[in-house]
Chain A
Amino acid sequence: MGILFEDGNFSLFYHGFLQTIELSAISALFALLLGGVLAAFRVSPVPVLRAFGTGWVMVFRNTPLTLLFFGVVFALPRLDVHLSSFTFAVMALSAYTGAFVCEVLRSGINTVPLGQAEAARSLGMGFGQTLGTIVLPQAARSVLPPMSSIFIALPRNSAVAGAFNVPELFSTQKAFDEKGYPIFVTFFWIALAYLLVSFTVSAVFRVLEKQLAVAR
C-alpha cells in the first residue's frame, strides 16, 4: 500500500486526481449550459431549433463516449481547430453529458403544472421569460435526483479522457501499472480517489435537495 509515497508517485497521483476533478467540474458547467440551451431548443416554437435539439440528443446519447472522443480529437484539428487535449476532452464530455442534461430538463419541464406557464403568459411574459423565470426554476426541484446521477457519472466518464492524452486518474493507473506495481495496490488508491469524488458529488446534491425541499 505504501507505493503512493515513493518514487515521486504521490505527485503523479495528486496531479491525476486534480485533473480528474478539474475536468469533471468544467465539463459539468458546460454540460449544464449546453443542456439548458438544448432543452430550450426542444420546447421552442421554432421547428428548426426543435429538430436541432432532437437530433443532437439522438446522436450524442446513442454514441459511445470513446467514439465521440475520437471524433473530437481527430476531426476538429482538420477543421483548423487546434486546442489542448484538455479542452478537447471538455468539449467531448460536455457535448455528451449535455444531451443527458437536456433530456432531464425537458422531462422536468413537463412536471411543472400547466397553470404556472399559463399564468406567466397571461401576465404578458414571452417564451424566454416564461421558461427562464417561471418554469425552469420550478423544474429544478424535480430534476435534482436524475441530475445527481448524471453528475455522479461525469467524473466516472472522464476516465475516458485518460486514453486521449489527459493525465488524469486513469492515466495514473496505467502509469503505475507500467512501473510494475501490483495492480491490486494501484487499484486500491485509484478507487479511493474516485469514491471520494463520487461521495462529494452525492453530498452536494443531498444538500441541494434539502434546500429546495424547504423552499417548497
Chain B
Amino acid sequence: MKARRTVAAALSVLALTAVAACGKDGSPNASSGDASAAAQLPTYTVKADAKLDASPVWANAKKNGKLVIGAKADQPYLGFEDLQTNTRNGFDIEIAKMVAADLGFKPEQIEWKTVVSANRETALAGGQIDLYVGTYSINDNRKKLVSFGGPYYIAGQDLLVNKDNTDITGPEATKDKAVCTVTGSTSIDKIKTYGAKVTAYDTYAQCVDKLLTKEVDAVTTDDAILKGYAAKNAGKLKVVGKTFSTEKYGVGLKIDDKALRDAVNDALKAHEDNGDWKKAYDATLGLSGSAAPAVPALERY
C-alpha cells in the first residue's frame, strides 16, 4: 500500500511538473503563419479625447479604464486565440480593435472574453461584456435583445469538403450525406432542409477533424469561417463556394444604447474609408486566398 501511495503521489507531481517545466517561449516562428502576418496588420490611432457620456456602457468602461469585448477564440483568421503566444488575432479582432481605438481605448486596455454563441445575448444584456465582435449575424430576432453596429462583413453559409470530393457541388448535393456543424447554430436548420444527415459537435475544429478522417462528407457554416479552416489545412480541404444564405456580421452591443451604436458605426465608417478595413482583411481573412469583397454598406437605425 505504501508503495502504491508513493507511486500515486509521484505520478501527480510528475504530471504537474512536466507541465510547468522546460518550455518554449512563444516567439513568432515559421510554424505559425499568423504571427508573421501580424507584421502587416494596420495600427490604429487611439482617439484619446473620445467622449461619449451619453452612453452608460462607454462611461462605465472609461471609469474602469478598460473595454470588455466578447469574441470567439477558435475561428482561424476571424476570432482566434493563439495559445502559444497568448494573443488574439483575426479579422473580428481587428474590427474590435479599430472600434475600440475610436472609442478611446488602447489595445492593452481591451479585456477579451471568450463568449460562445448561445450566451452572447445574455452576456451583453447582463453587462459582462461591452461589445461583442464574433461572426455575429444581424437578424430581427436578435435585434429584440441586442443592438447591432455594422454590418462590417457579409458572409454566407457554404460547404467545406475534402479536396478530392467532386460530388458535393452545392447544398442540393448534400441529400443523405453526412454534414457536420456545431450545436446551436442556425446552419443546422438550413442544411436539414436539403435532406443532409447532420452531425453536431460543439466546436468547428471537431467537425473539421471528422472531415479529415472522412467520417463526414462536408462541414457547413459561414464561408468566412470555412475559409479559415481551408487555409489552415491547406491542400486537403476546399470551400465549395456556393453560398446559400446571407449573414451580415455586426458588432453586438447593449440594446437601445444608441449613442454607442452610432459611435461604433462612425468608427467602422472611418476605418473603412481610410483603408484600414482592407488592410485588416488582407492580413487576416485574405490569407485564406480570397480577395477582399466590397465593403458592405452600414445599416444605421
State yes or no: do A and B touch (Cβ within 8 Å): yes
Q: Which of A77, A164, A177 contacts B201 (CB 8 A)?
A: A164
Using CB atoms, name the residue of chain B closest to A85: B199
- Residue tally, chain A, CB below 8 Å to B: 12
B202 at the interface (CB under 8 A from A): yes
Cβ–Cβ contact B201 & A165, under 8 A: yes
Query: CB-CB < 8 A to A164: which residues of B?
Result: 201
CB pair B184–A165 under 8 Å, yes or no, is no
Q: Main secondary structure on chain A at its contact with chain B?
A: helix
Q: Which residues in B have their C-beta under 8 angstroms from that of A163? A: 201-202
Choose from A77, A85, A165 the contact partner of B213 (Cβ within 8 Å).
A77
Knowing A85-B199, A177-B118, A178-B118 are in contact, say whether A74-B209 is a contact too (CB < 8 A). Answer: yes
Chain B interface (Cβ < 8 Å from any Cβ of A): 118, 183-184, 199-202, 206, 209-210, 213, 215
User: What are some 11 contacts across the A-B interface (CB < 8 A)?
Assistant: A74-B206, A74-B209, A77-B210, A82-B213, A164-B201, A165-B199, A165-B201, A171-B183, A174-B184, A178-B118, A178-B184
Q: Per DSSP, are chain B's interface residues mostly helix, strand or loop, or mixed?
A: mixed
Q: Does A210 lie at the interface of the complex (its beta carbon under 8 Å from any beta carbon of B)?
A: no
Question: What is the CA–CA distance of A165 and B213 in the complex, to the nearest angstrom?
Answer: 16
Q: How far is the CA of A171 from the CA of B201 in the complex (A)?
A: 11
Given the complex, which residues of B lie within 8 Å of A77, measured CB to CB?
210, 213, 215
Of all chain A residues, the one with the shortest Cβ separation from B210 is: A77
- Closest-CB distance, A87 to chain B (whole angstroms): 12
8 Å CB contact of B215 from A82, A171, A177, A178: A82
Query: Which partner residue on chain A sits nearest B141 by CB separation?
Result: A180
A156 CB to nearest chain B CB (Å)? 20
How would residues 68 to 91 of chain A score, 1 for a CB under 8 Å from any chain B CB and 0 otherwise? 000000100110001001000000
Asked whether, in the complex, the Cβ of A174 is within 8 Å of the Cβ of B213, the reply is no
Binary contact readout A163-202 vs B (1 if CB under 8 angstroms, 0 otherwise): 1110000010010011000000000000000000000000
Contacts of B200 in A (CB 8 A): 165
User: Nearest-CB distance from B249 to chain A (Å)?
Assistant: 20
Q: Report the nearest A residue to B180, measured CB to CB.
A: A165
